[in-house]
Amino acid sequence: MSFMENKIFTQQIKQYAALLELKGENPFKLRAYHFAIEAIDRLEVNLMDLPLSVIEKIGSIGKAIALKIEETKEKGIFHQLKNLLEEIPAGVVEMLGINGLGAKKINILWKENKFTTITQLLEACENNTLAQIKGFGEKMQANIYQDLLFKQANSAKLFFSKATIYQQMIVDYLSQIIDNELIITTGQFRRKLEIIDCLQIFVAIDDNKTKKNQLVQHLDECNFLIKNKQGTGMFVWRGELKENALKVEIKMPQKNRIGSEIYLHSAGEKHLTKIEKNKTILQHLTEQNFNKESDVFDYFKYPIIPVEAREGYAEWKWIEDKKVPNLLITNELKGIFHAHSTYSDGKNTLEEMVLACINLGYDYLGITDHSQSAFYANGLQPSRIKIQHQEIESLRKKYPNFYIFKGIEADILNDGQLDYEDDVLKTFDFVIASIHSNLKMSEEKATERIIKAIENPHTTMLGHSTGRVLLRRNGYPLDMKKVIEACAKNNVIIEINASPYRLDLDWRWVHEALEKGVLLSINPDSHETGTLSEVKYGVNIGRKGGLTAEKTFNTKTTEEIITYFANKKRKL
DNA sequence: GCCGTTTTCGGCCCGACTGTTTTCAGTCG
């Protein structure tokens, strides 16, 4: 685990590297800074406690960076960074985050065309002047505009994992004056959606006016919230987080209909628009007052549906059967597939990853480093695969109660082929096929490409199917129905990539995959030991689509998995 | 800027795509 306190140094070095990039500094120098950041991230000690003489001996950190760290300790910032921050406008630095814009292009905008803010860039796209600038064109303008709009639309949204921190902060703050049991988080957060744009919390304080006033005053005075005066009323306090403008709603409904309100704010639109007795659920609950959520289930004669699954996908069948299956829980996972080590772009060694899995109580790890065409990630050449396999075999002996599966995350090339010959692919116990390059494809081409990979007899699992990165880029368009059908037909497991930044397969397709009989695997795609526990976010996604332990590949025992892989290989 | 030397300077990952340009630079994964 890295030390949180070291973040101040890595943040500054990262910022400095970005500024140097804009200055056109030697790319190898920039890489040196990034290696230093990775080295600091790996440290298990606080840099504050180390003297200069020790810091400069750390691998990837030399005299120059060690001195910058020392100066930061003393003055809070090193002078080279301070100078550049005065020279380069913040808006220009921000442009580095825009897809399609690199240092060279940004310099044309800044130096030759006096662009210093994102707003100016947006306006230039809107009035078609960006395309007139030498080095830019119609297509580039369109791409930049699209990316700017995408970022604007996502600016006040958070990943579920990040929203958790703020949800807890608000609940803690409310509990200073309200009994904990009366505070109920609802909305997107309670449904465990992948992206949160509003944190909604109910406070069940009856109709006690004094208490309400006290609560409103408490919220008004909160130092991490900003009140929205227009939005705030009798039954709701509205505002946003100071830090990132995420919307916050604190609801104080009438006691006699708090059950109706909680239900209404704990289900997706598709669920609420379902017709029951000639009216939508939404209409029923708007008219009927229930003071307990469970009364709503009684009224509709529904079994209790777990909140995550109130989305209008999997639950209707359960209602019909009057029985809800036991949805998957994190404790039922017996092992991990899809993790990287220092053989490719992971931060921890293979043995460290193994030990971390053992410590978390898992029985096996399916290690999957990157394949050879992932140059940027130090992908494995066949010769290095052999070395890794030897290490796996010796680790199997060293840890006899744990099992390591030999896997690979093989790149799906442009034409749908995997990037090794068959005689290399057959040396793995299993193969995850993923797309990492050439992400701009038509739906037709992307679907064809991915189905060809699914049909490859070596493919065991499909990795992050759409390639999306939440809040950063959409995935390539896919005919997911066809993809799921191809997986069913070819006995290919679909991964739910549990990284909170991906969560791909999207939960809206989980139910469909289960219907078609496809197995799903909750995979952390870990690049370090610290993110193995992110499988819990993948479990949330599975539950939203009705996933049970039975349909989850990595709830199987080691022996069952060995048999499964052996059977798959028999068909080669 | 770091590293590792055949020790103080040369190498550090690279291939493909994209969109501009008019033969290739810039960006990305």
pLDDT per position as a tens digit, A205-225: 877 788 889 999 999 999 999
Q: Extract the runs of DSSP E, i.e. beta strands, from A96-203.
A: 158-159, 183-186, 195-196, 198-203
CATH architecture of the domain covering A158-321: 2-Layer Sandwich (3.30)
SS3 A474: coil
- CA–C1' A120–B18 (A): 24
Q: What is the mean pLDDT of residues A524-531?
A: 90
Sign of CA dihedral A331, A333, A336, A337: negative
The Cα-based distances of A206 to A144, A181, A183, A287 in angstroms read 51, 13, 12, 20
| Closest nucleotide to A96, Cα to C1' | B27
CB-to-strand B under 7 Å, chain A 511-570 = none
pLDDT more than 70, % of chain A: 99
Q: What confidence category does residue A3 fall into, taking pLDDT thresholds of 50, 70 and 90? A: low
Q: What is the pLDDT of residues A428-465, one digit of tens each?
A: 999 999 998 878 778 888 898 999 999 999 999 999 99
Q: What is the mean pLDDT of residues A172-191?
A: 93
Closest-CA residue to A504 (of A434, A407, A448): A434
CB-to-strand B under 7 Å, chain A 100-129 = 100-106
Q: What is the pLDDT of residues A346-358, one digit of tens each?
A: 888 899 999 999 9
A250 pLDDT exceeds 80? Answer: yes
Q: What is the pLDDT of residues A58-74, one digit of tens each?
A: 888 989 999 999 999 99
Higher pLDDT, A134 or A297: A297
Rounded to the nearest integer, the mean pLDDT of chain A is 92
Q: What confidence category does residue A1 fall into, taking pLDDT thresholds of 50, 70 and 90? A: very low
Is nucleic acid strand B under 7 Å from A440's C-beta? yes
Question: Looking at chain A, how many residues does it have?
Answer: 572
CB-to-strand B under 7 Å, chain A 205-264 = none
What pLDDT, on a 0 to 100 scale, did the predictor assign at position A132?
86
A572 pLDDT exceeds 60? Answer: yes
Q: What is the mean pLDDT of residues A43-69?
A: 89
What pLDDT, on a 0 to 100 scale, did the predictor assign at position A2?
53
- CA–C1' A175–B28 (A): 47
The Cα-based distances of A274 to A82, A316, A317 in angstroms read 58, 9, 13
- CA–C1' A141–B27 (A): 15
Is nucleic acid strand B under 7 Å from A27's C-beta? no
- CA–C1' A451–B14 (A): 28
Sign of CA dihedral A321, A322, A325, A327: positive
A375 pLDDT exceeds 80? Answer: no
Q: From CA A37, how far away is CA A61, in angstroms rounded?
A: 9
Higher pLDDT, A139 or A397: A397
Superfamily of domain A335-570: Metal-dependent hydrolases (3.20.20.140)
Q: From CA A204, how far away is CA A265, in angstroms rounded?
A: 14
A18 pLDDT exceeds 90? Answer: no
CATH of domain A4-153: 1.10.150.110
Min mean pLDDT across A21-25, A69-73, A186-190, A261-265 is at A21-25
Q: What is the mean pLDDT of residues A191-208?
A: 92
Question: Which positions ≥6 away from A251 have C-beta within 8 Å?
Answer: A186, A200, A201, A202, A203, A235, A236, A261, A265
What pLDDT, on a 0 to 100 scale, did the predictor assign at position A100?
84
CB-to-strand B under 7 Å, chain A 447-486 = 473
Q: What is the pLDDT of residues A399-417, one digit of tens each?
A: 999 999 999 999 998 888 8
Q: From CA A512, how far away is CA A514, in angstroms rounded?
A: 5
Q: Which helix (H) or strand (E) holds A366?
A: strand A364-370
Dihedral of CA atoms A448, A377, A346, A494 in degrees, nearest 10, equals 0
User: Which residues are bridge partners to A520 per DSSP?
Assistant: A494, A552
C-alpha of A517 from chain center: 26
As annotated, the residues of chain A forming the CATH 3.20.20.140 domain(s) are 335-570
Q: Extract the runs of DSSP E, i.e. beta strands, from A175-328.
A: 183-186, 195-196, 198-203, 225-227, 236-241, 247-251, 275-276, 279-280
pLDDT more than 90, % of chain A: 61
Amino acid identity for residue A344 in this structure = S
Is nucleic acid strand B under 7 Å from A436's C-beta? yes
- CA–C1' A454–B24 (A): 37
Nucleotides of B under 7 A from a protein CB: 1-3, 11-21, 25-29
Q: What is the mean pLDDT of residues A525-538?
A: 93
Is nucleic acid strand B under 7 Å from A415's C-beta? no
What pLDDT, on a 0 to 100 scale, did the predictor assign at position A206?
74
A201 pLDDT exceeds 90? Answer: yes
What pLDDT, on a 0 to 100 scale, did the predictor assign at position A288?
95
CB-to-strand B under 7 Å, chain A 68-87 = 80
A422 pLDDT exceeds 80? Answer: yes
As annotated, the residues of chain A forming the CATH 3.30.460.10 domain(s) are 158-321
What pLDDT, on a 0 to 100 scale, did the predictor assign at position A4?
65
- CA–C1' A31–B8 (A): 21
Q: From CA A460, how far away is CA A387, in angstroms rounded?
A: 22
What pLDDT, on a 0 to 100 scale, did the predictor assign at position A269?
96
